[in-house]
Each structure stands twice: as structure tokens, then as C-alpha cells.
Amino acid sequence: MTALKKLRSRLTKLERRFEQRQPQSRYREAILICNFFDGPGHVVVTDYTKGEWGEHYRFETQPGPGPQLEDFGQFDHVLPITYAESRS
């Protein structure tokens, strides 16, 4: 009986370690809504969803200095669209 308890305990610990090593998300994608203006611009997060298959961000460009898309980390897919395309 003691050997069985030890085995069960070791398996439980291994399962916990395995679960902790699983990635939080499979991929990250971003939709970048491009507004056209003169001068420097930055991006702001307008929507964020975390699903079973990954993280989905929606950014919008705004005038003035500030964070750039690269400041939010690496993305597997980035789809730049215009403001008019985002409303259709």
C-alpha cells in the first residue's frame, strides 16, 4: 500500500509540473486600424480577447508620441486595415 501511495504522489507532482509548462496561448494576432494623420503616431489597445486558441488584439493608431506595436510583444499575425474597412 505504501508503494502505491508514493507512486500516486509522484504522478501527481509530475502532472502539476507538466501543466505549469503548458503555454498560456498558442498564438497571438493583431488587427491594426490605421488612421491617417500628419506627424508621429502611436497605437492604443481598443479590444483584447483571450481564447482557447490564442490571444486576439485590436489596435488603433492615434496621433502623437507613444507606444508602438513592437512594444506590445511579438505577434504571429498582424492585419493592417483602414478605419473604413473596420466599420464595414
The pLDDT assigned to 4 comes to: 84
Total count of domains within the chain: 1
18-27 contact pairs (CB < 8 A, 24+): 25/50, 25/53, 25/54, 25/55, 26/53, 26/54, 27/53, 27/54, 27/55, 27/76, 27/77
Residue at 38 is within a domain: yes
Residue at 5 is within a domain: no
> Does residue 12 register a pLDDT over 80?
yes
Residue at 19 is within a domain: no
Residue at 71 is within a domain: yes
Which secondary structure element, helix H or strand E, spans residue 11, and what is its range? Answer: helix 2-21
The pLDDT assigned to 62 comes to: 92
**pLDDT tens column, 23-71:** 555 788 999 999 888 888 999 999 999 887 889 999 999 999 989 989 9
Domain carrying residue 35: 25-86
Residue at 41 is within a domain: yes
Residue at 46 is within a domain: yes
> Does residue 22 register a pLDDT over 60?
no
Residue at 18 is within a domain: no
> Does residue 17 register a pLDDT over 70?
yes
Residue at 72 is within a domain: yes
